[in-house]
A and B are shown apart, each in its own frame.
Chain A
Amino acid sequence: AQKITQTQPGMFVQEKEAVTLDCTYDTSDPSYGLFWYKQPSSGEMIFLIYQGSYDQQNATEGRYSLNFQKARKSANLVISASQLGDSAMYFCAMRGGRDDKIIFGKGTRLHILP
């Protein structure tokens, strides 16, 4: 069975600082993918970054980077130079299984302080 674990329910970070959101996963599938999504209070799911299990390099998208450590089964999200607009709920997710469905971790609520 697949499982995503996010152990940080909430984080407070000073504006302009970098922040790391933790995510560990478990799967027996050799092929899988890892996502990070941002969910503001409006409820929409905003795609941030994706890492495939066979990708050799860590994914980066602007201020977002994914620290993928396959042996440790971790996929932490790093946000550089945080901004007030980064305050939101962040979900780590994994695709895989028969239908390639996505399952989500419990999320981390990030608060950026001015």
Chain B
Amino acid sequence: GAVVSQHPSRVICKSGTSVKIECRSLDFQATTMFWYRQFPKQSLMLMATSNEGSKATYEQGVEKDKFLINHASLTLSTLTVTSAHPEDSSFYICSARDRDRTYGYTFGSGTRLTVV
């Protein structure tokens, strides 16, 4: 089946530093990838949609300069949290769309970010 690898699974960083999260589709080409954020005991909130080779589309209220998304290849999308602050601490999860399958959305295993 389709597999999406997301790394790192956990990361702790200091306030003011940047953190990069990778989302990689291992056995299919993902022209579209989605990035979500989930606070404890809450739902997944869509942050942005990235299409390979073009700029990401951000949801309302998401700071594009803070959450940089790059989708440079058909198998890799990255989310960089720039100048991280404690309020950016959250669970970040990606999803890759496999257009060859009707309901082909595969999720990564998520990244728990803690900013200290």
Which chain A residues have a beta carbon within 8 Å of chain B's beta carbons?
33, 35, 37, 42-45, 47, 50, 52, 91, 95, 99-107
Contacts and interface: CB of A to CB of B under 8 A. Distances in A.
A111 to B, nearest CB: 14
B43 A45 contact: no
Contacts, number: 52
Interface residues of B, number: 23
A62 to B, nearest CB: 16
B63 to A, nearest CB: 19
B57 A50 contact: no
A99 B110 contact: no
Given A44-B109, A44-B110, A103 B93 contact: no
B49 interface: yes
B107 interface: yes
Contact of A50 (B45, B97, B102, B107): B102
Contact of A43 (B46, B49, B91, B103): B91
A52 B104 CA distance: 12
A101 B102 contact: no
Given A45-B107, A95-B105, 6 more contacts: A42-B109, A44-B107, A91-B43, A101-B34, A102-B105, A104-B45
Interface in B69-116: 91, 93, 95, 97, 102-103, 105, 107, 109-110, 112
Q: Which 6 residue pairs of A and B lie closest in terms of their CB atoms, listed nearest first? A: A50-B103, A45-B107, A43-B110, A99-B49, A104-B44, A106-B43
